Structure 1
């Protein structure tokens, strides 16, 4: 095994965090800012690029940082190493309501493709890379663009998605259509493409956008019910403008109409 073998426990329901148990000298890596709490004798270190490139030269570190930058992540990653004699624990919190999904990469031939901001934490040795969408239409209209994250290794990785997450196992030739923003992760054997919505009226007024993502087996896909951009747009549309919502302004204006000046 190239990766550290870590134990873990996921706590919570909709606002989850994952508690990782580290044996002496075991290490877990995580996104900068993801840590929630940790025991004493755990050494936290921020490294440039990826953890796997720290033993290489300057160009290896630049390449590792560049891969993270173009997938929308920070240039830095944080490592947590147990320097004590017994077991220690470190916990990582989800960034918004949803589910934390544990992924044993050995079950997926050592490779998993996921959306750009899905990665939360992983055992030391898991490599975070870049997966380019070679099909032009998929890159432009697939919701995730040309670049997705690629997790490689033979250890545990934890990804996060919004709302409820469901896994679908597709047989050879079986196809599934989903909203382009709802794709969380997929195995490397999945054929990922896009398909336009049929009918002008449906495309313009159906509220589902102009394109669907089409996924063809064999392989497994993970789908989220609440993409973060959808959640953010709802929060933004409901946010008060200039000190109050439109409803509050309307009621306030009505009272001002009958008030004495």
Structure 2
């Protein structure tokens, strides 16, 4: 198996596999592949673990019940997964007895020995996290996972008892040696957040933390005012404004 990340702003992960080799992903991640790749689905593929229980945990977290397996059959094959927003794709090695927690859309694909489940689901009464709230995936097992984070990626190596307070949307990934807790900052924010206060994630070392500068919920919230419906004229204005926002993100390629 040989994996290569191609591109810069909107990277693509291209994986070349020998016959019999495979990778897994959640539903809807495939971009393109060669005819020698065979797709199959299961509720839990990793290392023979998980099964239906792992699948149900993913559903509770708002993800698909099924994982998709891409296997090279009858010869070598290639499968590619493209990023959905400007950002980075990078691999992480997962060992038995240790793992990572990744934001809900962070797992792009993995080798079959990796077991993805839900690590945390926290509902907020108000905010921009969607109906499923703040969700983290837990990646366990022994293998390689490829992670997709949006915007610029900032990495911290926290010492024991060293803590970062992070807006939930900026939490990209962290080692499971890092403890985490949802904290609420009370005060003036109650006026705006319906009495819930302002939520932050307290990440406490030891361990590595990866933060993302352009979370999908925050980007969607920023663009939403320019996508309002109504009559044709307002839709045209909204479309033009949205095009300007996207143009600023993607440059002349839009």
TM-score by length of 1: 0.76
Relative distance call for 1:233 and 1:109 in structure 2 (3 A) is same
Q: Give a deviation string over 1:37-66, Cα, whole Å, max 9, x none.
A: 112322122x1312248x68xxx7432321
2: CA distance, partners of 1:84 / 1:127: 26
- Please say if 1:118 is aligned against 2:118: no
Structure 1 range deviating more: 7-16 or 142-151: 142-151
Relative distance call for 1:132 and 1:179 in structure 2 (3 A) is closer
- Give the match for residue 49 of structure 1: 43
Relative distance call for 1:132 and 1:232 in structure 2 (3 A) is closer
- Give the match for residue 98 of structure 1: 87
- Please say if 1:38 is aligned against 2:33: yes
SS for the counterpart of 2:10 is coil
2: CA distance, partners of 1:110 / 1:126: 11
Q: Compare CA radii of gyration and give the structure with the larger one.
A: 1
> CA contact under 8 A between 1:204 and 1:210: conserved in structure 2?
no
SS for the counterpart of 1:35 is coil
1: CA distance, partners of 2:2 / 2:98: 18
Per the TM alignment, residue 157 of structure 1 is displaced from its structure 2 partner at its CA by 0.4
- Please say if 1:28 is aligned against 2:23: yes
1: CA distance, partners of 2:206 / 2:42: 37
Q: Give a deviation string over 1:115-163, Cα, whole Å, max 9, x none.
A: 2222210011111122247xxxx76589785752111122110122221
2: CA distance, partners of 1:132 / 1:177: 17
- Give the match for residue 17 of structure 1: 12
2: CA distance, partners of 1:203 / 1:235: 24
1:158-197 map, 5 Å: 158-197=146-185
TM-score by length of 2: 0.78
* Runs of at least 5 residues in structure 2 that lack an aligned partner in the other structure: 239-254
**Number of equivalenced pairs:** 230
